[in-house]
């Protein structure tokens, strides 16, 4: 059986000096996160990328103003509804540690009782109290937590039960899941998560030349050695030969059954694979790490203030497509189990698109999102090419939670600076709804940690460590080996300490444990030299300040067991954390618990998310090496009284602000937000993958596009709104398909439309809001108002001229069937004021005398006949094309239009949306509602009859290009699908369930 790496805790040859523990390991060519020699070590509580923040709740307003705001300060806008247990219960003089933990747990339970009343009386009563808070919510009591990885690492053997081991890292989050799934919680809890990379154990023959126990999971040596089916009538499914791990359907169901019946956390797995890799008989998993690449390569690094060198973008497009598809597969799985009234909580940067995807398909879903990592400032997020899509994805939630106030402040600032949405410290106004933002510092399960840290197995290792380092001061560091954890800075600071304070040489030892990073980019990038840099520093320090009998830095680049981890924290005299950018660091919280007796000081980077919460720790700037060296010396010389006072304060916080407090406070806030929100129906973003899916299966399709503000941006001078080359090429490609009828329905006159788009003979046109029509393939215009008395135009002309004279910069546009007064070039305030006066005068004079309509638009007022509008044209087109299809009687063409896409941005376009809603009404539907896409362009804060929205004309052209198969350059598809835009590639990949190569 394979030997696990271990730290030998016995004394060395020189009992007077700490002997360097020896390491036993088997080398392998596998990457670190797949090495059996690493993954088979007992789980160690990991360091999550979470954040912590100081809790100012309870301070008076005057005291908060006196203290002022610093980087870690936070507005009391979130935890005002969730105060912590009173500090007097866990900070009593002479109170034992066990009593502190019990008191903190008791107060936490009492606090949760106050939230739901009579917790001990049963689940029904407590949920009833939650429902009383907001009766209109109709809560079911179900919570669906979406997180990237399931709480288990998996090992697969064909035909056998799956081996489930606790997953490293995210221990605080998994403890929160465990609490929600326990009898202490009133909720019914389910986790939806990816399986993670599945490992297949290999039977190593032992002793040599001994056959393995089974060969069911081994591939055949040749076609003659394949197993013969026992049942000659029914052969087992044989997947086509390919690389990757093949998992039969029965084994997939076996895992799903094991996870659904797990006593600790009920989990529903998400299987991630291309459709070409999935069969009814099973699934083939290839390149399993691909699903995490975009999140780790682009998001994780940028969120931690690291920026890559620019590339040609090819790899990023593929990774973005995988990221998009992965989020969509999560949405599909959640919607399989979701019921109205359920609460969905989405966790962390791997699933940033999921809230918006869920909102698109279930507009009234109760959604919250919590980010466990830092969130960067707007100046840094703007470096991300997909910045807009990331922010829009998160804004699909009702409540967005962060670890610290600085992260929440950065988020709302990004929403304003990048998306243009109004915001304040408490939330963002987006898409016609309020998205609340709050700060909820996560904690740990203090009771669980205390129990584990004082187990008999830990006590034995602790005593060994104390003997080994007798007479020495021990500084402990435990970090992942990546650039944001600051291991190199820690070593440089320790070197500076030994240089500045020579009296401590050979009296202080730094024990540094570095676990391999699970960030694939950091392990594969040849330019990444973190490990080399760390080794160089260690050799330098040991060479300068070490001797044959003493090694100042003892480095263990490996995972250590849970018992060894807690023993090391208990044996430490100083805990040293020098992260240069970090979220929530559970090591600092667990260190506080483990120091209940010795009260070793905690030195904590001010860039760690826990720094604002653990305010009695010694805060340092890891870039200030001399400052860190001084802090180490201060910690070593600190009086016992001061050390214990520091420990008592830190212990009070860690035991009261535990993980149960965090998740319950977050849910309480969410229910409050949902109950207080206004009844606003937000228009969701257009689902491009659903649009493409419907388009592909339709036999006859109708497109109706507005021009200004839809195909082209609004400009100050109307004559300057000319179509781009990409617009022309995309429309050409779309109209070239004989199944497509493409119409431009605009307020522009015939001359303008003919000049700029008339050369595309396959296009149909409606000018002046439906006054004139030109059918595809024709050159003559049909006048629909030639019999109408146009005498009203002279009266309107006189009114418009009066206001043109009063408003410098305004002008009149005379069309054949309409008159428009433009004030876009005028002073904005004066133009708006005069337009209101002009509209009032027209409505009280001309509109009462003539059958005309006064239409205010974007920086203009138009007067036209009432019976001519875009809605009438939309009705005419749908009914005409349906009549033609029925007359043909061809089964291949169908009897009705099977796909309609209508896009517009203005008030006049609402007539089209209204007409389509009527035509798709049940019973007499000319077109099915599910096949009708009425899309308004602009933020959905405006009132609209459309079912979907896109933000700007650029998004419209992206959608047209997606349907027409036009590449990102707008010059056709010669470059292949990988040359199209990232969003279109992602939508196409979601529909085809794999990334197409041509």
Catalytic residues: 706
- Identify whether the C-beta of residue 150 lies closer than 8 Å to the C-beta of residue 267: yes
From the list 166, 163, 149, 151, the residue with the least C-alpha distance to 43 is: 166
User: Following DSSP, what letter does each residue of 200-257 receive, concatenated?
Assistant: ------SSTTPPPS--TTSPPSSGGGSPPPSSTTSPPP-PPP-SSEEEEHHHHHHHHH
Residue found by looking up tokens 């179900």 in the block: 142
Q: Please count the other Cβ atoms lying within 10 Å of the Cβ belonging to residue 203.
A: 14
Cα gap 723→757, rounded to integer Å: 8
Residue found by looking up tokens 């939309």 in the block: 874
Sign of torsion over alpha carbons 868, 874, 879, 881 = positive
Q: How far is CA 12 from CA 325, 581, 814, 891, in A?
A: 54, 37, 97, 87
* HEC string for 808-832: CCCEEEECCCCEEEECCCCCHHHHH
The end-to-end CA distance of the chain, in Å, is 47
- Identify whether the C-beta of residue 623 lies closer than 8 Å to the C-beta of residue 494: no
User: Following DSSP, what letter does each residue of 251-274 receive, concatenated?
Assistant: HHHHHHHHHHT-SS--EEEE----
User: Following DSSP, what letter does each residue of 373-442 receive, concatenated?
Assistant: S----HHHHTTSTTHHHHHHHHTTSSEEEESSHHHHHHHHHHHHHHH---EETTEEEETTEEEEEEE---
- Tokens, residue 208: 């040599």
Phi–psi pair at 912, nearest 5 degrees: -65, -45
Q: How far is CA 414 from CA 368, 381, 424, in A?
A: 19, 8, 11
Q: For strands 433-439 and 427-430, give the pairing.
A: antiparallel
Q: How many CA atoms lie within 13 A of 912 on its CB side?
A: 35
Cα gap 149→170, rounded to integer Å: 10
- Identify whether the C-beta of residue 692 lies closer than 8 Å to the C-beta of residue 991: yes
Angle between helices 725-735 and 953-964 (to 10 degrees): 40
- Tokens, residue 57: 């709740």
Percentages helix, strand, coil for the chain (3-state, rounded to 5) are 40, 15, 40
Q: Residue 308 carries which DSSP code?
A: P
- Tokens, residue 745: 């329905």
Sign of torsion over alpha carbons 99, 101, 104, 107 = negative
From the list 929, 938, 935, 928, the residue with the least C-alpha distance to 960 is: 935
3-class DSSP state of 797: helix
3-class DSSP state of 146: strand
3-class DSSP state of 175: helix
Phi–psi pair at 569, nearest 5 degrees: -65, -40
List of E strands, 386-490:
399-402, 423-424, 427-430, 433-439, 473-480
């Amino acid at each position: 059986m394979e030997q696990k790496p271990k730290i030998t805790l016995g004394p060395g040859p020189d009992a007077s000096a700490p002997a360097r523990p020896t390491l036993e390991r088997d080398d392998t060519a596998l990457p670190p996160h797949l090495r059996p020699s690493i993954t088979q070590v007992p789980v160690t509580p990991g360091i999550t990328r979470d954040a912590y923040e100081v809790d100012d709740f309870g301070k008076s307003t005057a005291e908060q103003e006196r203290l002022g705001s610093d980087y870690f300060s936070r507005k009391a806008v979130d935890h005002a509804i969730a105060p912590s247990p009173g500090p007097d219960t866990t900070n009593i003089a002479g109170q034992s540690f066990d009593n502190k933990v019990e008191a903190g747990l008791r107060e936490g339970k009492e606090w949760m009782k106050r939230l739901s009343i009579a917790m001990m009386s049963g689940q029904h009563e407590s949920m009833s109290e939650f429902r009383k808070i907001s009766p209109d919510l109709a809560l079911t009591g179900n919570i669906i937590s979406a997180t990237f990885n399931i709480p288990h690492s998996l090992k697969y053997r064909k035909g056998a039960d799956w081996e489930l081991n606790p997953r490293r890292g995210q221990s605080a989050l998994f403890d929160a899941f465990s609490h929600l799934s326990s009898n202490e919680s009133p909720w019914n809890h389910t986790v939806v998560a990816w399986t993670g990379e599945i490992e297949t154990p290999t039977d190593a023959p032992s002793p040599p030349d001994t056959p393995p126990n089974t060969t069911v999971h081994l591939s055949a040596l040749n076609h003659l050695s394949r197993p013969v089916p026992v049942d000659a009538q029914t052969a087992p499914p044989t997947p086509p030969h390919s690389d990757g791990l093949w998992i039969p359907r029965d084994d997939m169901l076996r895992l799903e059954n094991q996870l659904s019946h797990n006593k600790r956390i009920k989990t529903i797995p998400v299987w991630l694979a291309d459709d070409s890799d999935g069969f009814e008989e099973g699934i083939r998993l290839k390149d399993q790490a691909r699903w995490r690449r975009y999140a780790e390569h682009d998001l994780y690094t940028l969120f931690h203030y690291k920026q890559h060198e620019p590339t040609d973008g090819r790899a990023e497009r593929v990774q973005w497509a995988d990221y998009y598809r992965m989020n969509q597969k999560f949405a599909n799985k959640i919607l399989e189990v979701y019921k109205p009234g359920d609460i969905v909580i989405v966790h962390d940067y791997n699933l940033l698109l999921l809230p918006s995807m869920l909102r698109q398909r279930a507009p009234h879903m109760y959604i919250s999102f919590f980010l466990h990592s830092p969130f960067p400032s707007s100046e840094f997020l703007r470096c991300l090419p997909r910045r807009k899509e990331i922010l829009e994805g998160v804004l699909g939630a009702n409540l967005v939670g962060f670890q610290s106030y600085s992260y929440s402040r950065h988020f709302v600032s990004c929403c304003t600076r990048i998306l243009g949405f109004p915001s304040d410290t408490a939330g963002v106004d987006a898409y016609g709804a309020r998205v609340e933002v709050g700060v909820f510092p996560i904690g740990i399960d203090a009771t669980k940690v205390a129990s584990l840290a004082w187990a008999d197995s830990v006590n034995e290792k602790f005593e060994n460590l104390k003997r080994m380092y007798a007479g020495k001061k021990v500084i402990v560091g435990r970090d992942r080996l990546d650039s944001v954890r600051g291991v190199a800075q820690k070593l440089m600071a320790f070197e500076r300490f030994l240089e500045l304070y020579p009296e401590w040489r050979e009296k202080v030892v730094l024990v540094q444990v570095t676990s391999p990073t699970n960030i694939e980019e950091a392990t594969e990038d040849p330019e990444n030299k973190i490990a080399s840099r760390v080794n160089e520093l260690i050799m330098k320090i040991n060479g300068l300040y070490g001797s044959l009998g003493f090694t100042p830095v003892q480095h263990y680049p490996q995972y250590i067991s849970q018992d060894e981890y807690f023993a090391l924290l208990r044996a430490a005299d100083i805990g040293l954390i020098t992260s240069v950018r970090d979220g929530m660091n559970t090591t600092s919280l667990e260190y506080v618990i483990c120091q209940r007796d010795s009260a070793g000081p905690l030195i904590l980077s001010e860039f760690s998310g826990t720094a604002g919460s653990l305010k009695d720790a010694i805060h340092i700037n890891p870039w200030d090496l001399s400052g860190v060296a001084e802090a180490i010396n201060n910690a070593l010389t600190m009086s016992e009284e001061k050390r214990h006072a520091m420990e008592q304060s830190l212990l009070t916080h860690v035991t009261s602000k535990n993980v149960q407090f965090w998740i319950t406070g977050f849910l309480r806030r969410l229910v409050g937000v949902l109950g207080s929100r206004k009844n606003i129906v937000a228009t969701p973003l257009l689902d491009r993958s659903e649009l493409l899916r419907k388009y592909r299966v339709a036999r006859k399709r109708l497109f109706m596009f507005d021009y200004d503000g839809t195909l082209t941006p609004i400009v100050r001078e109307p004559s300057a709104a000319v179509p781009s080359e990409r617009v022309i090429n995309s429309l050409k490609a779309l109209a070239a398909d004989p199944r497509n009828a493409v119409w431009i329905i605009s307020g522009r006159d015939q001359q303008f439309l003919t000049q700029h788009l008339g050369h595309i003979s396959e296009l149909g046109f409606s000018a002046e809001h439906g006054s004139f029509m030109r059918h595809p393939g024709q050159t003559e215009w049909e006048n629909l108002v030639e019999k109408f008395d146009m005498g009203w135009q002279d009266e309107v002309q006189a009114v418009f001229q009066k206001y043109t004279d009063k408003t410098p910069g305004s002008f009149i546009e005379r069309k054949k069937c309409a008159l428009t007064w433009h004030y876009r070039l005028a002073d904005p305030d004066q133009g708006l004021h005069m337009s209101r006066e002009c509209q009032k005068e027209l409505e009280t004079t001309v509109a009462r005398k003539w059958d005309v309509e006064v239409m205010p638009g974007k920086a203009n007022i138009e007067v036209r006949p009432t019976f001519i509008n875009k809605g009438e044209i939309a009705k005419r087109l749908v009914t005409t094309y349906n009549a033609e299809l029925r007359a043909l009687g061809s089964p291949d063409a169908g009897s009705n239009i099977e796909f309609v896409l209508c896009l517009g941005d203005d008030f006049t376009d609402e007539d089209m949306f209204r007409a389509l809603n009527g035509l798709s009404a049940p019973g007499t539907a000319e077109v099915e509602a599910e096949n009708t896409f009425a899309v308004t362009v602009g933020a959905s804060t405006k009132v609209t009859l459309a079912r979907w929205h896109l933000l700007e004309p650029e998004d419209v052209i992206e959608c047209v290009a997606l349907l027409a198969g036009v590449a990102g350059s707008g010059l056709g598809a010669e470059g292949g699908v990988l040359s199209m835009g990232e969003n279109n590639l992602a939508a196409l990949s979601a529909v085809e369930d794999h990334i197409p190569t041509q």
